[in-house]
Amino acid sequence: MDTTGSDYEFVILGSGEGSKYLAWTLAAEGKRVVVIERKYIGGSCPNIACLPSKNVIHSAKVAQHVRESEEFGVVTDYFHVDMPAVRERKRRMVQGLVEIHLANFKKSGAGLIMGSAKFVGPKKLEVSLPDGKTRVIHGDKVIIGTGTHAIIPDLPGLRESNPMTHIEALELDHVPEHLLVLGGGYIGLELAQAMRRFGSRVTVIERNDRLASREDEDVCEAVHQLFEDEGIAVLTNAESTRVEGTSGQSVKLYLTRNGSPASIEATDILVATGRTPNTEGIGLDLAGIELTPTGYIKVNERLETTAPDVWAIGECAGSPQFTHIAFDDFRVIRDNLAGENHVTTGRQVPYCLFTDPELARVGLNEKEAKAKGIPYRLAKMPMAGVLRTRTLSETRGFLKALIDTESDRILGITVFGVSAGEIMGAVQIAMVAGMPYTALRNVILTHPTLLEGFLGLFSSVPPRASK
Ligand SMILES: Cc1cc2nc3c(=O)[nH]c(=O)nc-3n(C[C@H](O)[C@H](O)[C@H](O)COP(=O)(O)OP(=O)(O)OC[C@H]3O[C@@H](n4cnc5c(N)ncnc54)[C@H](O)[C@@H]3O)c2cc1C
């Protein structure tokens, strides 16, 4: 890879989702582009976040299938979970992904410098290289895509207990005996269920009064029920106060729950209480780049920072914390560099919690519609009514759609059930195409598939009130 020159048309800090696509696209157009990356080629998603977590979660699902195999007429006398092998499958996948990234850098002509960078002036970065040397690089235009990292809350004894974050949890070579998961957000929930299925005793500690608290009440309850049914202890309304011991050996967590003190002993702690931007100590002030009060890079809707010719992309810019949003940020910057006016405002933010079954949503749920005073017609149907789920013995959950009262426009869909992410995606495409719900109700869908559920779901939409 050519990294010999010191000056580039584009210097991109971090090789995460938006950054890398921008680098490859601009370089393929013949621009002189370099990406500086301190550790993870391709960013968090392929190395330590989305893809490795889904890989490990799938191993956990296989373990669950084996555990329940008798129901399917497959009898196994004995099985055990081999965590080094789980890890090895994940590592092989990650290695393959890194190789794909390196090939893309090579093919596009974008440079890749491995090193940690900080601004030393406007559009000027100093890179600390692995051999201990430094190098200063100047770019005509600079894009910052440094991402976020897990917050370790300021809780007495927590840092000293050497807790795991998702990074260490995805590298485990053994099943923790009793895992405490601090935080019932999507990272905590996905890993909690996976570890339970590998054989861990798991306790989730959540400060809110419910799991998945942004969702409608019936959804929160369904997720909670799933966790209870799998034997995961969920402590809501729980405020952690102190930790004793060392994660990996033995730990004791002190907390207050509904005002009363309590404590739990366990062997391991996984912290999943949120993310904070990688914007500290990288000289942003020397480059005229301002931050928001919460430490994210201040950007406008075109993702321009407060410094001329400097953009921010992905999580460090405060964009919703999903890979597909970081990718959309790439499109925004690419188009604006080409002279268009592409903005981040008003875009759809679909998402999927990759528990088993999944929880996926795009558009409004009831809670949001009510808060915004948007009237809606509600259609809800159990997943058990989708006959495909019966062939799979995966009948848990439901589909829920909100339809406009004045037109037949779909306002949002929530799916809690098998392959929820794929089902939601199909409705999202209809929403983007501006299709009325009746189109999904009347289309001929293959039997027996999960999408066939649309027939039942959208047939149950209440008629529009006549005026
Ligand atoms: C466990 C987990 C699971 C997730 N699962 C999903 C999922 O299923 N679906 C989904 O959509 N999203 C998921 N996410 C979120 C998703 O990973 C992020 O939204 C996405 O990776 C953000 O991309 P980014 O480019 O903003 O940051 P990153 O991908 O984190 O890229 C930032 C890069 O910058 C580098 N860097 C930072 N500072 C410097 C510096 N000073 N010098 C040089 N390099 C630097 C970092 O090493 C990193 O590679 C998950 C996140 C986690 C933690």
pLDDT at 465: 86
Q: Report the helix count and the strand count for the chain, using DSSP H and E.
A: 13, 21
Domain boundary pick from 255, 273, 291: 273
Residue 404: inside a domain, yes or no? Answer: yes
Helices 323-337/17-28 angle, 10° precision: 30
Q: Do residues 144 and 285 both lie within one domain?
A: yes
For the Cβ of 240 lying below 6 angstroms from any atom of ligand 1, the answer is no
The values of phi and psi at residue 153, to 5°, are: -60, 150
Q: Does an H or E element contain 190, and which?
A: helix 186-198
CB 332 within 8 A of CB 338: no
191-249 residue pLDDT tens = 999 999 999 999 999 999 999 999 999 999 999 999 999 999 999 999 999 999 999 99
Give dist(CA 226, CA 357) in Å, integer. Answer: 9
Residue 103 structural domain: 6-149+276-337
Give dist(CA 335, CA 332) in Å, integer. Answer: 5
CATH assignment at residue 425: 3.30.390.30
**Core vs surface per residue 393-417: b (16+ CB within 10 A) or e:** ebbbbbbbbbbbeeebebbbbbbbb
Residue nearest to atom 20 of ligand 1 (CA): 323
354 CA closest ligand 1 atom index:
8
Burial of 231 (0-12, 13-18, 19+ CB in 10 A): exposed
17 CA closest ligand 1 atom index:
25
For the Cβ of 354 lying below 6 angstroms from any atom of ligand 1, the answer is yes
Annotate 321-385 with DSSP letters as a single string.
S-HHHHHHHHHHHHHHHTT-----TT----EEE-SSSEEEEEE--HHHHHHTT--EEEEEEEGGG
For the Cβ of 166 lying below 6 angstroms from any atom of ligand 1, the answer is yes
Tally Cβ neighbours within 10 Å of residue 27.
23
Distance of CA 7 to the CA centre of its chain: 35
Q: Do residues 61 and 23 both lie within one domain?
A: yes
Residue 403: inside a domain, yes or no? Answer: yes
pLDDT at 326: 98
For the Cβ of 278 lying below 6 angstroms from any atom of ligand 1, the answer is yes
Q: Report the sign of the C-alpha dihedral through residues 135, 136, 140, 141, in that order.
A: positive
CA 291 to ligand 1 center in whole angstroms: 19
Establish whether 447 is a catalytic residue: yes
For the Cβ of 17 lying below 6 angstroms from any atom of ligand 1, the answer is yes
Give dist(CA 277, CA 353) in Å, integer. Answer: 22
Domain boundary pick from 223, 254, 273: 273
pLDDT at 467: 63
Tally Cβ neighbours within 10 Å of residue 342.
18
Q: Do residues 280 and 374 both lie within one domain?
A: no
Residue 73: inside a domain, yes or no? Answer: yes
Give dist(CA 241, CA 154) in Å, integer. Answer: 10
Give dist(CA 349, CA 284) in Å, integer. Answer: 28
Q: Which one, of 287, 40, 38, 264, lies nearest residue 17 by Cα?
A: 40
For the Cβ of 15 lying below 6 angstroms from any atom of ligand 1, the answer is yes
Residue 300: inside a domain, yes or no? Answer: yes
Q: Do residues 170 and 137 both lie within one domain?
A: no
Residue 101: inside a domain, yes or no? Answer: yes
CA 412 to ligand 1 center in whole angstroms: 27
Q: Do residues 102 and 45 both lie within one domain?
A: yes
Residue 142: inside a domain, yes or no? Answer: yes
Q: Please give the tally of structural domains in the chain.
A: 3
Q: Do residues 138 and 284 both lie within one domain?
A: yes
Q: Which parts of the chain register pLDDT below 70?
A: 1-6, 467
> Which residue among 17, 44, 152 is best mutated to probe the pocket of ligand 1, counting the most ligand atoms within 8 A of its Cβ?
44
> Which residue among 113, 323, 331, 428 is best mutated to probe the pocket of ligand 1, counting the most ligand atoms within 8 A of its Cβ?
323
Q: Do residues 124 and 78 both lie within one domain?
A: yes
Residue nearest to atom 45 of ligand 1 (CA): 14
For the Cβ of 38 lying below 6 angstroms from any atom of ligand 1, the answer is yes
Residue 84: inside a domain, yes or no? Answer: yes
Q: Do residues 145 and 187 both lie within one domain?
A: no
CATH assignment at residue 287: 3.50.50.60
CA 258 to ligand 1 center in whole angstroms: 35
pLDDT at 7: 82
CA 189 to ligand 1 center in whole angstroms: 18
CA 45 to ligand 1 center in whole angstroms: 6
Residue 351: inside a domain, yes or no? Answer: no
Domain boundary pick from 220, 240, 273: 273
Q: Do residues 386 and 315 both lie within one domain?
A: no
Q: Do residues 125 and 30 both lie within one domain?
A: yes
Q: Do residues 26 and 115 both lie within one domain?
A: yes
The values of phi and psi at residue 462, to 5°, are: -60, 145
Q: Do residues 261 and 280 both lie within one domain?
A: no
Active-site annotation holder among 80, 101, 138, 447: 447
